[in-house]
A and B are shown apart, each in its own frame.
Chain A
Amino acid sequence: MGVMIFVKLAWRNILRNKRRTLIAGTAIGIGLAAMIYMDAIMIGMENNMVATATSTFLGDGQIGREGFRKTFEAELTINNVDEVVKDLAKEPLVDKFTKRVLGLGMISSPANVSGVSVIGIDPATEPDLSKVDEAMIMGSYFEGDDSRQILIGRKLAELLEVELGDRIVVTVAEAHTGDLSQEMFRVSGIYYFNVAEMDQRMAFVRLDKAQAMMGLTGQAHQIALKLHDNSIARVPGHDLWMRYSVNGNEAVGWTTLLPQLDKIFNLSKFGILILGVLLFAIVSLGIINTLFMSLYERMFEFGVIRALGTTPFAMGRLVIFEAGVLGLISQIMGCLLAAVTLAILSYVGIDYGGIEFAGVTIVDRLYPEWQVHQFVIYPAAVLLFTMVIALYPAIYAAKLTPARAMRKSF
């Protein structure tokens, strides 16, 4: 039996009531466009947040001594750090890296005192890994050789009531003896990340100065890494992490350093799935309604077609084909709508700047990200879904007896 005649019939039947097809197609298309748009926004947001989280200070991954991330104990420095650095310099997967020392300390001014993380950074390599240099709003990033320069956040400066050039005293404990080490610094720069933790609870000094204060000359607590391919950071068992997780050290990607962020992304994906299911449920009611309206409107015609010898299976198939045509039209409308919306938004972006989410502040404008799967998988899913949903009216049509369908018949 010629299948093409049913394809032809389905196509022409669907175009018979153009207004209804347009309305139904638009409704389904909007659902599809919403799915594509949400996916693009989520990918854009994820990329934005990952970029913000990793490029602000964290890095794509870090190497540290086992246990340091949890306890922050000053004596837990990287074992064989010079060898690790030598290896990293030859590591093809690693683009840039920088050493840091971190210590809990106290910072005091004549006006106030606050607990902070004192972080020793290498002024030359740190800008490759973080945006401390770009975040300066007053003064400047480390210049010259003055070892008493200190960079603090705007909120900390407000708390301490200090300005550029003011003196502050930093107190940290020596790593091995526990003795307190105190040094006077001069505020050389004030930064603003718009991240509360960084703006209020961190202070940056030169690496060698911090090492000296903590009695850790030549040592480091942390090596932040920037990878050529940052997707490796999402693979916890990747060979890179395994190779550097030796001699009591551990190497991990950002998903391990910021597990809450990854969990939030997974949660968001689940949210999209739920939203998608709801959206498809609404759309499916529209499809069923459209197909049944079309079916009831042509009940007598269906009776005639059955009377001419069309089998119940062929009748059901006709309805499925009609749904397929409707799905195809909806696909085109949905993809066009999504493409236009995304083209505009990926050009102008969406201003979510300053919003903190899962501990990460979105710094840049959010740009939805187009991906091929959005215009392949979702439209295919809509088409398939439309045809599956059409099974209900198709079975109804297949079960119609000619006499019942024609009602008045002869």
Chain B
Amino acid sequence: MSESKTPVIVAQGVTKTYEDNGVPVEAVKGIDLTIMPGEFTAIVGPSGSGKTTFLNIISGLDTVTGGRVSLDGKPLSEMTGRELSDFRRDSIGFIFQAYNLIPVLSVEENVEYVMLLQGIAKSVRRDRVKEILARVGLADYAHRLPTKLSGGQQQRVAVARAMVAQPSLVLADEPTANLDSKTGGELLDMMRDLNRTTGMTFVFSTHDEMIMERATRLITLRDGKVASDEARA
């Protein structure tokens, strides 16, 4: 765990209730959690345990029914829609299970997208794109469309996109689910390496043993609550 005093995520008594066909469903039932900078954390648990909902909440994609979430010391509930968008843009990198690159943009343009939103100068954008693509081993694929890449390569682009804007937090949803174990392993090693070298915080939602093996912290959710929270070497 990092020695920094400001936690990246602080969740206090977070609850979330959905309406499903008029029937209230309590997906998260009071989670208290603090994630410190530089952690490489895996949130695990069976389907329906609340991992998805919890990650949606801590990324500002969804709102809480009760409780409070702060990211980098800023309470999400006090942010407007626009501020949340800007916060996600500047502070959070997303890696999705199905890669979810923008199919009409090239590898380079996908990676550059968030920086364009941030209004970063073209020369800086180009340098960072070049650097991150080299780091994920896709320097020669900059001008290709995502559809012309393998699943592993697409997920590498997704990692590059998530990290290029240098967010304080990267949230990854089952990033290895669609990859074979060799490719998945390589990708995780790459992310772990980035975590070690940049100090970026990673939070995974996963069932994958490979992620669990590499995680420095393993949080198990069951029935919308934290069942266990284990720090690992």
Contacts and interface: CB of A to CB of B under 8 A. Distances in A.
Interface of A: 1-2, 5, 8-9, 12-13, 16, 300-301, 304-314, 401-403, 406, 408-410
B138 interface: no
B85 A310 contact: yes
B55 interface: yes
Contacts of A309: 85-90, 114, 117-118
A306 B88 CA distance: 9
Contacts of B179: none
Interface stretch (B56-64, B128-136, B189-197): B56-64
Given A304-B96, A312-B81, A409 B113 contact: no
Nearest to B60: A402
A250 B197 CA distance: 97
A308 B94 CA distance: 7
A1 to B, nearest CB: 6
A1 B119 contact: yes
A402 B61 contact: yes
A401 B117 CA distance: 18
Nearest to A313: B82
Contacts of B117: 1-2, 308-310, 314
Contacts of A314: 117
Please name the 9 residue pairs, one residue from A and one from B, whose CB atoms are nearest each other, closest first. Answer: A309-B89, A12-B104, A410-B173, A403-B62, A410-B55, A410-B52, A402-B61, A2-B116, A304-B100
B51 interface: yes
Residues of B in contact with A, size category: 20 to 34
Interface of B: 51-52, 55-56, 59, 61-62, 81-82, 85-90, 94, 96, 100, 102-105, 109, 113-114, 116-119, 161, 171, 173, 205
Contacts of B86: 309, 311
Nearest to A409: B56
Contacts of B90: 309
B85 A300 contact: no
Given A2-B119, A409-B52, 10 more contacts: A1-B116, A1-B117, A12-B105, A16-B104, A304-B94, A309-B87, A309-B90, A310-B89, A311-B85, A410-B173
A5 B173 contact: no
B104 to A, nearest CB: 4
Contacts of A304: 94, 96, 100, 102
A305 B104 CA distance: 13
A246 B52 CA distance: 91
Nearest to A408: B52
Nearest to A6: B116
B113 A5 contact: yes
Contacts, number: 82
In this complex, the member of A9, A300, A308 whose beta carbon has the largest number of chain B beta carbons within 10 angstroms is A308
Contacts of B96: 304, 410
B52 A5 contact: no
B85 A301 contact: no
B114 A308 contact: yes
Contacts of A403: 56, 61-62
A401 B62 contact: yes
Contact of A308 (B56, B88, B104, B119): B88
In this complex, the member of B59, B86, B117 whose beta carbon has the largest number of chain A beta carbons within 10 angstroms is B117
Contacts of B88: 307-309
A402 B52 CA distance: 13
Contacts of A410: 51-52, 55-56, 96, 171, 173, 205
A312 B61 contact: no
B119 A9 contact: no
Contacts of B56: 403, 409-410
B82 A311 contact: yes
Nearest to A305: B102
B171 to A, nearest CB: 7
30 contacts: A1-B117, A2-B116, A2-B117, A5-B113, A9-B102, A9-B105, A16-B104, A300-B100, A301-B100, A301-B103, A304-B94, A304-B102, A306-B85, A307-B94, A308-B89, A308-B117, A309-B90, A309-B114, A311-B81, A311-B82, A311-B86, A312-B85, A314-B117, A403-B62, A408-B52, A409-B52, A409-B56, A410-B51, A410-B96, A410-B205
Contacts of A306: 85
B136 to A, nearest CB: 17
